[in-house]
């Protein structure tokens, strides 16, 4: 092998080292499909931080540039003047919204990326601009119906043709919110705001958790963003986003598979129950994702091979995600102590010193126990999580969230002996759980993650 550049997939094992990190690699048809990494990165940031879109209009600028440089009307490799015109239009759009975008991370990422691309293509700052074009989707029945995907786009066939079945792992997030990591640690966390669930070489998953009621310490997942990164001849970059009362059965561009490549059907979205249950199959990385809306809030579950879970280039940045490392210590809640207190007092409200204060109108402890017992007869951590959520939120839908989370474990977890967990995992100060370093303080951790997601200027 030559220099330090990206490795090509000469063998099945090498394939996992080939990265799909989103970064500035040039845009437009001339730069190739992998060059479109910048758009999903910005989309990821914008979806995760809704304040960035209002009054800051950077999303509109990004969308217009994406429309002008993608699809059948995109400038070819020798159409430098047309591509430069699109860049100048992009720059003009960012200047017009500059005043309202001060301090906006996605805005500054776009500004620096434009400068980098203009330098790469020798574009002058003065010159004609282009009008944005409406993006056209592929006709129905075209790439959507392909079934002859290349072998490399089927994880088990390409990686394990002559070896044992891969070891699959599971991660799930539900309720107020409760996290089950890839290593079967079970934690209840505060994690208000935007947090990374998964960040490896193949996909990013980020959730936004918001208070269930004004002034309440109880939070639940109100937004979910997933980026599937461009991979070889299998899939284009795709972004999926779900929010409260909006669980789409398609990617944000309206498609339901991996794009126009030969192996596009190795990534597909299937709507199981309209507005309530969506399943995403990413066969090229052996991954299944289940997204549900239960009541007003979202739940997430994933089945992923260990080999893909650990396909991380930079452990100091990518390796910080919640499904792998768990919640930071100062974000964890000891809900078993909470239960002991609630059971001991039998009161509708708990003392102010409780790990998580109750909502203004909640269930009595005995009622919460009875309702959870109906759906969850085994008194495991999902049962305990159900009681905790009813006591802190007063929302009976959280009973169903715990129930479906366990149903997803039954479907996705490869070890049937580990379906039920009985002992909650809480990291101790100064120690690492399961041999992994403790997650950083939330502010530092968020900063490290965002820096890792920003385009690479080199």
**pLDDT tens column, 165-181:** 788 999 999 999 999 99
Is 376 within the bounds of a domain?
no
Same domain, 271 and 192: yes
pLDDT score of 450 more than 70: no
SS3 of residue 61 by DSSP? helix
302 within some domain: yes
Average pLDDT (175-193) is: 93
d(CA 402, CA 294) in angstroms, rounded, equals 10
Q: Are 312 and 331 in contact (CB under 8 A)?
A: no
Provide the percentage of residues in the chain whose pLDDT is more than 90: 36
d(CA 380, CA 58): 46
- Per the structure block, which two tokens stand in for 395? 């929302």
What pLDDT, on a 0 to 100 scale, did the predictor assign at position 157? 79
Is the pLDDT higher at 198 or at 312? 198
Residues 94 and 158 in one domain: no
The reply to whether 116 and 169 lie within a common domain is no
pLDDT-derived band at 451 (thresholds 50, 70, 90) equals very low
Note the pLDDT of residue 233.
87
Distance CA 364, CA 362 (A): 7
CB atoms within 10 A of CB 411: 13
Same domain, 190 and 236: yes
| Domain encompassing residue 256 | 151-326
- Confirm whether 81 is domain-assigned: yes
Which position has the token pair 């100091």? 316
Share of the chain above pLDDT 70, in %: 65
Q: Is residue 317 one of the residues assigned to a domain?
A: yes
The number of folded domains in the chain is 2
**Last residue of a domain, which of 121, 137, 162?**
121
Residue 387 lies in a domain: no
> Cα separation of 277 and 407, whole Å?
13
| Average pLDDT for the chain | 73
Same domain, 250 and 301: yes
3-state helix, strand, coil in the chain (%, to 5): 40, 20, 45
- List the beta strands (DSSP E) in 212-363: 219-228, 238-243, 267-273, 277-282, 287-294, 297-305, 332-333
Task: State CA 129 to chain mean position distance.
Answer: 35
Q: Which residues pair with 281 in a beta bridge?
A: 268, 288
What is the structure's pLDDT at 437? 37
Helix axes 38-48, 442-453, angle to 10 degrees: 150
Residue 11 lies in a domain: no
d(CA 456, CA 52): 21
Q: Of 335, 305, 344, whose CA–CA distance to 425 is shortest?
A: 335
In a domain, 128, yes or no: no
Residues 174 and 322 in one domain: yes
Residue 429 gets which letter from DSSP?
T
Q: Maximum distance among all alpha carbons in the chain?
A: 75
Taken in order 90, 93, 98, 102, the sign of the CA dihedral is negative
Residue 261 lies in a domain: yes
| 192 and 310 belong to one structural domain | yes
Confidence of residue 349 (pLDDT cuts 50, 70, 90): very low
Of 96-110, 162-176, 257-271, 344-358, which one has max mean pLDDT? Answer: 257-271
What pairing do the DSSP bridges indicate for beta strands 297-305 and 287-294?
Answer: antiparallel
pLDDT band at 69 (very low <50, low <70, confident <90, very high): confident
Residue 103 reports pLDDT greater than 90: no
Helix locations, 305-425, DSSP H: 306-309, 322-325, 335-345, 365-375, 381-393, 397-412
47 class by beta-carbon count within 10 Å (0-12 exposed, 13-18 middle, 19+ buried): buried
Distance CA 257, CA 278 (A): 13
Of the residues 326, 356, 382, which one is the last residue of a structural domain?
Answer: 326
Which of 284, 305, 326 terminates a domain? The answer is 326
Tell me what pLDDT residue 396 has.
93
Task: Say yes or no: 68 and 172 in one domain.
Answer: no
- Whether residues 188 and 317 share a domain: the answer is yes
Residues 207 and 304 in one domain: yes
The pLDDT value given to residue 216 = 76
Least confident piece of the model among 278-287, 337-346, 353-362: 353-362
Per-residue pLDDT at 62: 79
Q: Are residues 116 and 161 in the same domain?
A: no
Contact of 102 with 94, CB cutoff 8 Å: no
Say if residue 196 is in the same domain as residue 318.
yes
Sheet holding 219-228, edge to edge: 193-199, 203-211, 219-228, 238-243
- How many Å apart are CA 176 and CA 327, to the nearest integer? 13
Which tokens sit at 104?
């906006």
94-98, 140-144, 159-163, 239-243: which is most confident: 239-243
CATH number of the domain encompassing residue 232: 3.40.1000.10
Spatial distance between the Cα atoms of 338 and 249, rounded to a whole number of angstroms: 38
């Amino acid at each position: 092998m030559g220099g330090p550049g990206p490795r090509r997939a000469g063998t099945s094992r090498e394939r996992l080292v080939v990265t799909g990190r989103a970064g500035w690699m040039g845009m437009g048809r001339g730069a190739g499909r992998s060059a479109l990494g910048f758009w999903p990165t910005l989309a990821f940031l914008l979806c995760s931080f809704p304040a960035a879109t209002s009054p800051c209009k950077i999303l509109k600028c990004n969308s217009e540039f994406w429309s002008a440089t993608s699809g059948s009307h995109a400038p070819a490799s020798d159409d430098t003047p047309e591509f430069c015109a699109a860049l100048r239009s992009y720059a003009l759009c960012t200047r017009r919204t500059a005043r309202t975008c001060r301090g906006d991370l996605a805005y500054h990422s776009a500004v620096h990326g434009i400068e980098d691309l203009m330098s790469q293509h020798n574009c002058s700052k003065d010159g004609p601009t282009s009008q944005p074009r409406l993006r056209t989707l592929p006709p129905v029945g075209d790439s959507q119906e392909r079934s002859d995907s290349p072998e490399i786009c089927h994880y088990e066939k390409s990686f394990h043709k002559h070896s044992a079945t891969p070891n699959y792992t599971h991660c799930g997030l539900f309720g107020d919110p409760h996290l089950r990591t890839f290593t079967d640690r079970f934690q209840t966390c505060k994690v208000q705001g935007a947090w990374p669930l998964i960040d490896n070489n193949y996909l990013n998953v980020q959730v936004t958790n918001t208070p269930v009621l004004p002034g309440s310490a109880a939070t639940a997942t109100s937004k979910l963003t997933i980026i599937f990164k461009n991979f070889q001849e299998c899939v284009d970059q795709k972004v999926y986003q779900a929010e409260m009362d909006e669980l789409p059965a398609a990617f944000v561009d309206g498609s339901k598979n991996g794009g126009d490549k030969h192996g596009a059907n190795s990534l597909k979205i299937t709507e199981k129950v309209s507005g309530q249950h969506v399943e995403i199959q990413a066969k090229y990385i052996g991954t299944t994702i289940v997204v549900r809306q239960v009541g007003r809030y979202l739940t997430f579950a994933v089945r992923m091979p260990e080999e893909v879970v650990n396909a991380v280039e930079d452990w100091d940045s990518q390796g910080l995600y919640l499904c792998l490392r768990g919640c930071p210590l100062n974000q964890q809640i000891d809900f078993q102590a909470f239960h002991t207190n609630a059971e001991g007092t039998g009161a509708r409200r708990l003392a102010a010193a409780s790990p998580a204060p109750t909502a203004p109108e909640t269930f009595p402890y005995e009622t919460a126990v009875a309702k959870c017992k109906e759906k969850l007869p085994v008194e495991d951590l999902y049962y305990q999580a159900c009681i905790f959520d009813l006591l802190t939120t007063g929302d009976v839908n959280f009973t169903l969230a715990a129930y479906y989370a366990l149903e997803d474990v039954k479907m996705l977890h490869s070890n049937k002996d580990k379906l039920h967990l009985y002992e909650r995992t809480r990291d101790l100060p100064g120690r690492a759980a399961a041999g992994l370093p403790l997650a950083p303080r939330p502010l530092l951790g968020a900063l490290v993650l965002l820096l890792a997601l920003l385009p690479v200027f080199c």
